[in-house]
Amino acid sequence: MTCKICKTETEKIFGAEIINKYRIDYFYCRNCGFLQTEEPYWLTEVYKNPINVSDTGYLQRNIFLSKKVTILLFFFFNKNKKFLDYAGGYGVFVRIMRDMGFDFYWSDKYTQNLFARGFEYNDSIKNDIEAITCFEAFEHFVNPIDEIEKMLSISKNIIFTTELLPQPIPKPEDWWYYGLEHGQHISFYSKKTFYFIANKYSLNYSNLGNLHILNHKKISNLKLKVLKFTKFGLHKLLQKQLKSKTWEDHLKMSNNK
């Protein structure tokens, strides 16, 4: 099977049972460190409910990431421009960020926008997007390079989360992130994979645990340590310098009725 990242031939390393129903194979690329399942014929079935029932950390994750991203956007990007949450789920993150004062928009081809209605992304604002956020979606991508290129056609700055593939590669029963119970995780990346992608598109890659940045302007690891001040409430201080869009958005949506 050919690697979906670098087009090198992969090797089968193990099989596993997903959703207590299908026996599938996993293939590893030694060239770029990417792990993928066989072609995921089961996705139509498992995406009847896009946000899987075992994702109990959905709200907590959005709240936590809003604090980190507030600091990132404030210090390393133009905070006054527009932003896109790609694969934005129910729109929770977009709503939180707009409440804080950032001009965020939503996009997701699989999930209904419940909390950020009226702020869907469209091509008319394409040239105004400063950066894209994309949380817990890379592991769902059937064709990661296609998705990454879609994002890069909008902005050269991508802030995203996904768990890095441990080394040595764990067996199916030894790593929760394979998501065997829901079958939606089909792509797994190592640092080597992201460095390969960054080099392919002349970008810089920064790793902050399960938070990652691909962007055109290099950010030093020393400066990124400012994120540690999240636990001291730095995001709250920065938020005071922004104007919340909550009431502004309320007026807009009320007038659109």
Stated pTM of the model: 0.96
Element (H, E) at 211: strand 211-215
In this structure, are residues 160 and 133 in contact, taking their beta carbons and an 8 Å threshold? yes
Sorted by where each begins, the domain ranges of the chain are 52-162+191-255
218, 84 in Cβ contact below 8 A?
Answer: no
Task: Tokens 């421009």: give the residue.
Answer: 81
Q: Which CATH architecture has domain 52-162+191-255?
A: 3-Layer(aba) Sandwich (3.40)
Cα(68)–Cα(131) distance, integer angstroms: 14
End-to-end CA distance of the chain: 52
Q: What is the pLDDT along the chain (257 residues), one digit of tens a residue?
A: 999 999 999 999 999 999 999 999 999 999 999 999 999 999 999 988 777 777 888 899 999 999 999 999 999 999 999 999 999 999 999 999 999 999 999 999 989 999 999 999 999 999 999 999 999 999 999 999 999 999 999 999 999 999 999 999 999 999 999 999 999 999 999 999 999 999 999 999 999 999 999 999 999 999 999 999 999 999 999 999 999 999 999 999 998 76
Would you say 163 and 185 are in contact if contact means Cβ atoms under 8 Å apart?
Answer: no
Rg (CA), the chain: 19
